[in-house]
Structure 1
Amino acid sequence: MSAPQGKAASPFKQPKAVWAVAFACVISFMGIGLVDPILPALAESLDATPSQVSLLFSSYLIVTAVAMLIVGWFSSRFGAKRTLVIGLSVIVVFAALAGASGSINGIVGFRAGWGLGNALFIATSLAVIVASASGGFGGAIILYETALGLGIAVGPLLGGELGAISWRGPFFGVAVLMAIALAATVAFVPNLPKPARPTSALAPLKALRHRGLLTMGIMALLYNWGFFTMLGYAPYPMELSAHELGLVFTGWGLLVAAFSVFFAPRLQARWGTAPVLYANLLGLGIVMAVIAAGVTTPTTVIVAVIVSGAFIGINNTLTTQAVMLVAPVERPVASSSYGFLRFIGGGLAPYVAGKLADATDLSVPFYLGAATFLLAIPVLASGHRLLRQAEASPDAEEPVTPALRPVGDAAAAGGAPPVIVAVGAHARAATIVDTAARYAEHSGSPLEVVHVRQSAVVEEQAVETEDADQARAAVKAHLDRLAAGGVPATGQVLDSVGDHAAAGRVLARHAAEVGARAVTVGRSPRGALAQFADGSFTAALTHAAACDVLLVDPDAGPRPLTAGTLTELRSGAA
């Protein structure tokens, strides 16, 4: 929502703790792409079949899947920093052991240990970055997205360069880089407070009893089946060196990162989550079928794999958002349940693909992958109504009430449409609320103070940027202050999933539901870079709102958003 007034803050001006974890995120996101360029070299050097090498993915992902069920329980008891440190330590040890191994079975086993460390790390890294960030969570999200993009894009390139020297290079490279990240995490990341309530170890499994979460989880399982079939087997028909494979998957990774961060939210805003996912899954099915049909033509496979990066980037982000929208449980629990199902699909796919390739030919696993992409469409359709309802109606907490009873009644305006003021946690919020209160009094309308609590989604990770008590406290503080001055007002906390722009659309829908006269918002110093990466709250609100939207300048009072004002806001709005 709004941020402190004044000069635009750089999203990259963050504490050392944030940079330490962001660096570890880059190395973690390198993980899969780093290994892909050396798959043919592994098979040749260790006298292994492609199906045996594919078990590198299966052992890693299946252990990650099972571990996702307990990481919430572990982190809530031992703390986020300790969870990060243990996860990074496990990755360092098992990546080094994999590099030192002399057999394919040894590498497969050590990759399983690597998967355990990966689960501990990915389940807590985004939350730690958000909790440690300065100047609001928006900058932390941008930094995380940057780490994601670098890791996905640079991973295959580095893997190709190190793999051209030796197939052991990428494993030892990860071990060394993660050791550096481990030292930085120990030195710079503070001990963060544990949750008030420890998470139950059974909570993620119990959450799958909810139809919406189970449906989206099965859809993710089918999607990941096709995705990891491609990732595990596409390098073989390309007939390229490790260096050349690195370049191919770097192109793929750049598209994954770009479409995940920049294009997916904009497509979702224009068409809705489900329609974009339908089209995207169909596109993935077609691309996979092209790979299957052209498996004997390396150029066809290379082009199709690179193009698939765009579809995969969109799917990673919107599938996670779909899960979070329909899940009636806490975000960390929903993430664990979803992670369990999607990693299970990713883990089983390479194993089954290997068996099929050995029994038939290399095209069959890709045709099966295409079929799983297409099968995910009717599965998603079976939960379409739940997803549409979740998108159309923002989740609301119970109304917030002031500790003091104001003089008069917020409903005393005789049923007049309310004036809504959107508030964030910053120094000028009180001035903005007071200005909105004067406008409401002048127009004879009741005042409603609203705060949108955001759950940020970055590719396949989701995190609550504040807990429910913090959000309610932000509203209650304004209501108490207004009540002490005899100003009647009501309060509300809304939930949104996605970027800043998604929060703006949630507020617009709420304003329509209550028949608001106007929505007032304050100016924020979030610069052009922040808005481009994370969306503009005010621009999205203005586009979606059916009522007037007023920009509150604390020094000059509210003013309507004209077309010229909106252009100005796009380079400096909330």
Structure 2
Amino acid sequence: MTSKSAFPFLLIYMFLAMLGIGLVIPILPELLKEFGANGKAAGYLVSAFGLTQFLFSPIAGYFSDRYGRKPMIVIGLCMFAISNLVAATAGHFSFLVAARLIGGMGSAALVPSIMAYIVDITTEQQRTRAMSFLGASMSSGFIIGPGLGGFLAEFGTRAPFFVSAGIGMVAVVCSTLLLTESQSIEIRLMRLHSNPKRENIFLQLAQSVRSRYFILLFMIFALTFGLAHFEAIFPLFVTQSYGFTIREISVLFMVCSLIGTFNQVMLTSRLIQRFGEKPIISSMLLLSAVSLVFLLFSGNFFYVMVITMFFFTFNNILRPAINTLLSKEAGDEQGFVSGLNNAYMSLGQIFGPILAGLLFDIHINLPYLFGAFVLLVSTFVSVKWLRSSSGAIYQENKVLEVSK
């Protein structure tokens, strides 16, 4: 298999990584009942995945640059399979949390390596479309997870984990046998012997604030925070507010994710080619915020489905637009910057569910109002950044005209 023919497999691997994040959400009430745990424990369980993903993402991105993309992808898939197997056989709540921590480590190894692999095998002209497909696999996995978990739970609470573990093992075998390395031996040897100094994750985050791509990383955080915030509390919200059943929630997630993914594949490249990444980012952030507020207006099942479909569509278009700009800013450090990308995404996955749970206990509508607020602030930040970037380009063009 050539590097370019590996693209469909990379999309599948990314889908699996994101699938593991949301798989636990619809079966969470039954798992808590089984282990006698409370609501606070539920927040920790959902956020545990993001915690280790956050801590290990930059390290994995660094190793991806030095040792190659394929080893990290295989390691990530192995940990994904192990985490689901541990969850499927857990006899105590602590083992369930441990499984989520292992899953986060696997995602940290997998996600930045896949993103860097795609950058390696695409030209700048191809990258927008490639990132659109990658964003579709990420978003659909993150969103389909709860729906699939709800359907499989009808065969038993642990059934989703057993099925995911089996699929993960098949992916490990396929990636080991079929996937080729996207980086040449010369590049890997050069990076292996260059031995650049890397700070720990917290110093990297502090330094990223001053980097040229910080605004993009902040938007990755806001996007993921909004989606995790939405998803973590959604089953409780629609159950208590509108009386939805678990089956209705599963159907809603599955249908909306499929429509949102289809809209992303069909619309993202066209919209970016016509308007550019920056206006699309600002628009999608604003529309995502508005859709969260509109979710509070009615409990009609089809109304909720339409609003949720719009929210997923806006998020699905937003992610590849940000990733494309980030890859352009990354230069020769694709693996490292992809690791930071994953770290900011992990922060959203950590704080989104925790804050959603705390706000839900105060008032049932607060999680979505606060999520909308975060997305709205991000919209203003992106608009200001867009204007400042446009101004810098204008000044540069004026200098060039004068020099001529």
TM-score normalized by structure 1? 0.58
1:181 aligns with one of 171, 186, 196: 171
Query: What is the rounded CA distance, in whole Å, between the counterparts of 1:66 and 1:333 in structure 2?
Result: 13
1:86 aligns with one of 64, 75, 89: 75
Query: What is the rounded CA distance, in whole Å, between the counterparts of 2:141 and 2:23 in structure 1?
Result: 9
The yes-or-no answer on 1:106 pairing with 2:109 is no
Q: RMSD value over aligned CA atoms?
A: 3.7
Residues 384, 266 of structure 1: CA spacing in aligned structure 2 closer, same or farther, 3 A cutoff?
same
1:89 Cα shift?
1.5
Residues 387, 268 of structure 1: CA spacing in aligned structure 2 closer, same or farther, 3 A cutoff?
farther
Q: Name the counterpart of 1:383.
A: 385
Q: Name the counterpart of 1:161.
A: 151
Q: Name the counterpart of 2:41.
A: 52
Q: Is the CA contact (8 Å cut-off) linking 1:27 and 1:178 kept in structure 2?
A: yes
Query: What is the rounded CA distance, in whole Å, between the counterparts of 1:43 and 1:87 in structure 2?
Result: 27
Q: Name the counterpart of 1:288.
A: 292
What amino acid sits opposite 1:343 in the alignment? S
Q: How does 1:77-476 map to 2 (within 5 A)?
A: 77-128=66-117, 151=141, 155-190=145-180, 193=185, 195=188, 196-198=190-192, 200-202=197-199, 204-205=204-205, 208-239=208-239, 240-292=244-296, 294=298, 300-326=303-329, 330-358=333-361, 360-388=362-390
Query: What is the rounded CA distance, in whole Å, between the counterparts of 1:241 and 1:352 in structure 2?
Result: 24
1:333 Cα shift?
2.9
Q: Is the CA contact (8 Å cut-off) linking 1:148 and 1:257 kept in structure 2?
A: no
Q: Is the CA contact (8 Å cut-off) linking 2:27 and 2:157 kept in structure 1?
A: yes
1:157 Cα shift?
4.7
Residues 257, 131 of structure 1: CA spacing in aligned structure 2 closer, same or farther, 3 A cutoff?
same
Query: What is the rounded CA distance, in whole Å, between the counterparts of 1:125 and 1:150 in structure 2?
Result: 16
Q: Name the counterpart of 1:73.
A: 62
Residues 235, 387 of structure 1: CA spacing in aligned structure 2 closer, same or farther, 3 A cutoff?
farther
1:336 Cα shift?
2.3
1:68 Cα shift?
1.5
Residues 300, 316 of structure 1: CA spacing in aligned structure 2 closer, same or farther, 3 A cutoff?
same
What's the CA shift string for 1:118-140, capped at 9, x where partnerless? Answer: 1101111244467689xx97898
Query: What is the rounded CA distance, in whole Å, between the counterparts of 1:168 and 1:390 in structure 2?
Result: 55
SS of alignment partner, residue 112 of structure 2: helix
What's the CA shift string for 1:429-487, capped at 9, x where partnerless? Answer: xxxxxxxxxxxxxxxxxxxxxxxxxxxxxxxxxxxxxxxxxxxxxxxxxxxxxxxxxxx
Query: What is the rounded CA distance, in whole Å, between the counterparts of 1:324 and 1:285 in structure 2?
Result: 25
1:290 Cα shift?
2.4
What amino acid sits opposite 2:111 in the alignment? I
Residues 18, 250 of structure 1: CA spacing in aligned structure 2 closer, same or farther, 3 A cutoff?
same
Q: Is the CA contact (8 Å cut-off) linking 2:131 and 2:323 kept in structure 1?
A: no
Query: What is the rounded CA distance, in whole Å, between the counterparts of 1:367 and 1:102 in structure 2?
Result: 37
What amino acid sits opposite 1:217 in the alignment? L
Query: What is the rounded CA distance, in whole Å, between the counterparts of 1:299 and 1:252 in structure 2?
Result: 11
1:147 Cα shift?
5.4
What's the CA shift string for 1:396-441, capped at 9, x where partnerless? Answer: xxxxxxxxxxxxxxxxxxxxxxxxxxxxxxxxxxxxxxxxxxxxxx
What's the CA shift string for 1:148-179, capped at 9, x where partnerless? Answer: 58746764553232122222111121111001
SS of alignment partner, residue 220 of structure 1: helix
- Number of matched residues? 382
1:368 Cα shift?
0.9
1:379 Cα shift?
1.8
What amino acid sits opposite 1:67 in the alignment? F
Residues 390, 247 of structure 1: CA spacing in aligned structure 2 closer, same or farther, 3 A cutoff?
farther
SS of alignment partner, residue 157 of structure 2: coil
More helix by share: 2
Query: What is the rounded CA distance, in whole Å, between the counterparts of 1:304 and 1:160 in structure 2?
Result: 21
Unaligned 5+ runs, structure 2: none
Query: What is the rounded CA distance, in whole Å, between the counterparts of 1:164 and 1:85 in structure 2?
Result: 31
Query: What is the rounded CA distance, in whole Å, between the counterparts of 2:70 and 2:233 in structure 1?
Result: 36
More strand by share: 1
SS of alignment partner, residue 37 of structure 1: coil
- Between the two structures, name the one with larger relative contact order (CA 8 Å, sep ≥ 6): 2
What amino acid sits opposite 1:121 in the alignment? L
Query: What is the rounded CA distance, in whole Å, between the counterparts of 1:150 and 1:226 in structure 2?
Result: 15
SS of alignment partner, residue 383 of structure 1: helix
Which structure would you say has the larger Rg? Answer: 1
1:53 Cα shift?
1.9
Residues 160, 369 of structure 1: CA spacing in aligned structure 2 closer, same or farther, 3 A cutoff?
same
SS of alignment partner, residue 167 of structure 1: coil
Q: Is the CA contact (8 Å cut-off) linking 1:291 and 1:304 kept in structure 2?
A: yes
Query: What is the rounded CA distance, in whole Å, between the counterparts of 1:290 and 1:48 in structure 2?
Result: 33
Query: What is the rounded CA distance, in whole Å, between the counterparts of 2:3 and 2:348 in structure 1?
Result: 37
Query: What is the rounded CA distance, in whole Å, between the counterparts of 2:39 and 2:272 in structure 1?
Result: 38
Q: Is the CA contact (8 Å cut-off) linking 1:33 and 1:249 kept in structure 2?
A: no
TM-score normalized by structure 2? 0.80
What amino acid sits opposite 1:310 in the alignment? T
1:233 Cα shift?
0.6
What amino acid sits opposite 1:363 in the alignment? N
Identity across the alignment (%): 23
Residues 188, 234 of structure 1: CA spacing in aligned structure 2 closer, same or farther, 3 A cutoff?
same
Residues 137, 293 of structure 1: CA spacing in aligned structure 2 closer, same or farther, 3 A cutoff?
closer
What's the CA shift string for 1:88-147, capped at 9, x where partnerless? Answer: 1111111111122244443233201110111101111244467689xx978987985785
1:15 Cα shift?
8.2
Unaligned 5+ runs, structure 1: 1-11, 395-508, 514-574
Query: What is the rounded CA distance, in whole Å, between the counterparts of 2:225 and 2:8 in structure 1?
Result: 33
Q: Is the CA contact (8 Å cut-off) linking 2:20 and 2:103 kept in structure 1?
A: no
Q: Is the CA contact (8 Å cut-off) linking 2:14 and 2:134 kept in structure 1?
A: yes
